[in-house]
Structure 1
């Protein structure tokens, strides 16, 4: 082979090699290349299948990682939480649950929420917590679409099985109501029976009974906590607003609508409170009492009535005298001849917007909502979980007062149930509570109170 032929041959080989190299390095996205498109779609399908395998499902056991749960420990105790969390970890062994709990947990965790490093799941309850404030601050995940997928153990939608509906913020859900509590007025049933005191059913009979007790026992018959004045606001005034003006008035005062706090209905109610103070029925030392101190005074018959939720007997179980028998009625702020009013006070579960492990958080929230855990909640706490059609009558561990209260609440001839749109924002509740203490101490009149409350509502609206 001569040099020319050899040179041509070498050039041909190099050209073929270069062409093969170019084709091998060409991108997959070649227009009209059906084979490369099929390969891409197959790859995408594989990625989707992988994503599906790793995605959250309430019962697939695929959830893993660290899950932080924050829950307040107060009158309900923590035994129910311990049982549920233990069962959850058995169901999801790849999840490590870190509990942040205690009576001061809301304050202890405040810096974490403020710094954008919150726990994954939060039970919103206790002093220092405000669901509405957390929603306004963008701290809670929007659960609207996901909540529609949750089912109870019988396959029915969770949202169709709540006793009371979740709080709604312009139609959006940011929490699911775990506990159906309601504020009411408590008394010692055994003491009342022994002394012949009438159990009140309206404001007139309430005042009459308090007068009898004051005269016979030489005590101020009514006590509440001045350190947490929202006990009186939620426990006595919310039912009064509902009884006088229905859900509309209740919603208006909670949201700070213009003119709501200076309305004739609200003024009339606050004049009743002023009358309670002027008659000496409100313990003059209430301003210095925290909630446990006021409850202790009540148990010792230093007072006869106290507004608290269903957690009272459980919280004070270690201090309750042996002969004390808890009696519960809806707060008797209604007019004579009208049903007493109940306003459910829901305690919700929520997921942090910035949760590190949202899949595990959703798995836990889904896991909690069952009728079996609802029954256990009543046994552990003496209160009601917000799930309908839970039979408590067959359980020996459910207290009698809860069964009796449940029957009363479900009797429309005795009790009318009202609903608030959502909890009052702390930005509005705090100044109103301050003015309320002044009224109950006799430092301002009912007319001055409603003016102060209206100013607070105006300031709140301007901040929104």
Structure 2
């Protein structure tokens, strides 16, 4: 006999006595259990008729294999996915809907959103430290696609982008309204938003006052003169805190109209002699004329973009250069009788088509993304005609996918439908294309000089010399 001490459920010791005979029996049972549990499985013995398996059995096996493969592929699209997107005039309702749909499609993915009007500054340290989010929508103050490419922060998408298709099977790269930015033939982003800077005015106010809607620089100056005299206001306003609004909204179309895509590319890349060329000087002399005639708001230097837009809505000014996001961004402050009117910025010569330069807002994937497979799945997921139509509904702007009929969508604002028709009429508008956005290293010093010119502290000749020096310094650092 031997004694075993165990505890009952209350923790009390209970003694049990067993004979060695029972111990032997228990040991034998445990040995059998262990042997059976460790034995390898043997395939079932089949009769001669089913040797090699029936057709039904093969189909089931194939289906199980395909299911396993699908689950394996879906298993790759999992984990945490960080997305950074700027929230400005377009709002965030479109993003919320797309992200919700993506999470429903990929339930094993947990999306972490980094969003807001100051998100570019808030996330800057993470990019610098090499710990970026996986996907980034490049837009808003403090962001520069070209700078990110130059700093090696974005993934090269050239080969992968060729695999992306829209829901109808057409290649995405063949379905853009405007082509992606190209850096020596390489793609580092895909253009999500087709926006364009232009000049806005109040159609109802113009009709009431009998003011002519300008179609070129001469009529632009004439109308501003009439408004200044009749309304006792400085007709033109922009933001001095963000001078690139004027650079992109007024000067890029002017450069395109004056020298085509070649001149536009040269000023953006800082090519030698571009900023002191005769065409650029003539454009800047027109800007000087606007200032000398008192048409530019003398207090613009202190205004941010929302303050300048508010002044415009209150008829403190008559013209403002902004993109398609303006009505959506200012929807809560727009007077009931205000009727948005949009024209390409009238910096062209009389008799020439007005000029448009698309301003694309891209999606990109970080070079050091923690979850690149989920990031690619999200970018692929976003580019559909369905989401393109929804984008116009949510934002009042256009997604960069062709073949989307906005006129059939009653939820798209009328000004956008009219602007879309105008932009696609070659008799009215000529579209020019920039190779990629200007680097912040070049745009910043040129913008500073531009403010001085528009305040009357610098002549056009002095400005182009200052800009040429900035371009030379930029080239030396490349």
TM-score (norm 2): 0.85
In the TM superposition, residue 62 of structure 1 has moved relative to its aligned partner by 4.4
Distance (whole Å) between structure 1 residues aligned to residue 404 and residue 103 of structure 2: 25
Which residue number corresponds to residue 100 of structure 1? 114
Once the two structures are superposed, residues 353-376 of structure 1 have per-residue CA deviations (whole angstroms, 9 ceiling, x without a partner) of 000000000000000000000000
Q: After the TM superposition, which residues 163-312 of structure 1 pair with which residues of structure 2 at under 5 Å, given as runs?
A: 163-312=177-326
Q: After the TM superposition, which residues 79-90 of structure 1 pair with which residues of structure 2 at under 5 Å, given as runs?
A: 79-90=93-104
Pick from 140, 143, 147 the counterpart of residue 129 of structure 1: 143
SS, match of residue 253 in structure 2: helix
Distance (whole Å) between structure 1 residues aligned to residue 79 and residue 146 of structure 2: 29
Which residue number corresponds to residue 17 of structure 1? none
Distance (whole Å) between structure 2 residues aligned to residue 273 and residue 99 of structure 1: 42
Which residue number corresponds to residue 370 of structure 1? 384
In the TM superposition, residue 56 of structure 1 has moved relative to its aligned partner by 9.7
Distance (whole Å) between structure 1 residues aligned to residue 389 and residue 436 of structure 2: 26
Contact 1:55 1:359 in 2 (8 A): no
Pick from 364, 374, 378 the counterpart of residue 360 of structure 1: 374
Distance (whole Å) between structure 1 residues aligned to residue 181 and residue 159 of structure 2: 15
2:439 matched to 1:434? no
Change in CA separation of 1:56 and 1:280 when aligned onto 2, cut-off 3 Å: farther
2:432 matched to 1:414? no
Pick from 441, 450, 453 the counterpart of residue 464 of structure 2: 450
Distance (whole Å) between structure 2 residues aligned to residue 320 and residue 115 of structure 1: 42
Once the two structures are superposed, residues 340-364 of structure 1 have per-residue CA deviations (whole angstroms, 9 ceiling, x without a partner) of 0000000000000000000000000
Pick from 150, 154, 163 the counterpart of residue 168 of structure 2: 154
**Mind listing any 5+ residue stretches in structure 1 that lack a counterpart?**
1-48
In the TM superposition, residue 53 of structure 1 has moved relative to its aligned partner by 5.2
Contact 1:56 1:63 in 2 (8 A): no
Contact 2:144 2:439 in 1 (8 A): yes
Distance (whole Å) between structure 2 residues aligned to residue 53 and residue 113 of structure 1: 36
2:90 matched to 1:76? yes
**Mind listing any 5+ residue stretches in structure 2 that lack a counterpart?**
1-64
SS, match of residue 243 in structure 1: helix
Contact 1:56 1:359 in 2 (8 A): no
Which residue number corresponds to residue 3 of structure 1? none
Distance (whole Å) between structure 2 residues aligned to residue 352 and residue 159 of structure 1: 20
Distance (whole Å) between structure 2 residues aligned to residue 255 and residue 62 of structure 1: 40
TM-score (norm 1): 0.88
SS, match of residue 349 in structure 1: strand
Distance (whole Å) between structure 2 residues aligned to residue 398 and residue 84 of structure 1: 18
Change in CA separation of 1:295 and 1:55 when aligned onto 2, cut-off 3 Å: farther
Contact 2:76 2:373 in 1 (8 A): no
In the TM superposition, residue 394 of structure 1 has moved relative to its aligned partner by 1.4
In the TM superposition, residue 395 of structure 1 has moved relative to its aligned partner by 1.1
Which residue number corresponds to residue 37 of structure 1? none
Distance (whole Å) between structure 2 residues aligned to residue 93 and residue 55 of structure 1: 12
Distance (whole Å) between structure 1 residues aligned to residue 260 and residue 437 of structure 2: 16
Which residue number corresponds to residue 129 of structure 2? 115
Pick from 78, 89, 109 the counterpart of residue 64 of structure 1: 78
Which residue number corresponds to residue 413 of structure 2? 399
In the TM superposition, residue 125 of structure 1 has moved relative to its aligned partner by 0.1
Once the two structures are superposed, residues 423-458 of structure 1 have per-residue CA deviations (whole angstroms, 9 ceiling, x without a partner) of 000000000000000000000000000000000000
Q: After the TM superposition, which residues 370-389 of structure 1 pair with which residues of structure 2 at under 5 Å, given as runs?
A: 370-389=384-403
Once the two structures are superposed, residues 127-156 of structure 1 have per-residue CA deviations (whole angstroms, 9 ceiling, x without a partner) of 000000000000000000000000000001
Distance (whole Å) between structure 1 residues aligned to residue 72 and residue 191 of structure 2: 22
Once the two structures are superposed, residues 278-329 of structure 1 have per-residue CA deviations (whole angstroms, 9 ceiling, x without a partner) of 0000000000000000000000000000000000000000000000000000
Which residue number corresponds to residue 327 of structure 1? 341
Once the two structures are superposed, residues 78-121 of structure 1 have per-residue CA deviations (whole angstroms, 9 ceiling, x without a partner) of 00000000000000000000000000000000000000000000
SS, match of residue 97 in structure 1: strand
SS, match of residue 416 in structure 1: strand
Contact 1:339 1:414 in 2 (8 A): yes
SS, match of residue 402 in structure 1: helix
In the TM superposition, residue 54 of structure 1 has moved relative to its aligned partner by 9.1
Q: After TM superposition, which residue ranges in structure 1, 4 or more long, deviate above 6 angstroms?
A: 54-57
Distance (whole Å) between structure 2 residues aligned to residue 426 and residue 162 of structure 1: 26
SS, match of residue 444 in structure 1: coil
In the TM superposition, residue 124 of structure 1 has moved relative to its aligned partner by 0.1
Distance (whole Å) between structure 2 residues aligned to residue 56 and residue 368 of structure 1: 23
Distance (whole Å) between structure 2 residues aligned to residue 224 and residue 61 of structure 1: 50
Contact 1:225 1:290 in 2 (8 A): yes
Contact 2:234 2:294 in 1 (8 A): yes
Q: Which entry has the higher C-alpha Rg, 1 or 2?
A: 2
Contact 1:224 1:306 in 2 (8 A): yes
2:323 matched to 1:348? no
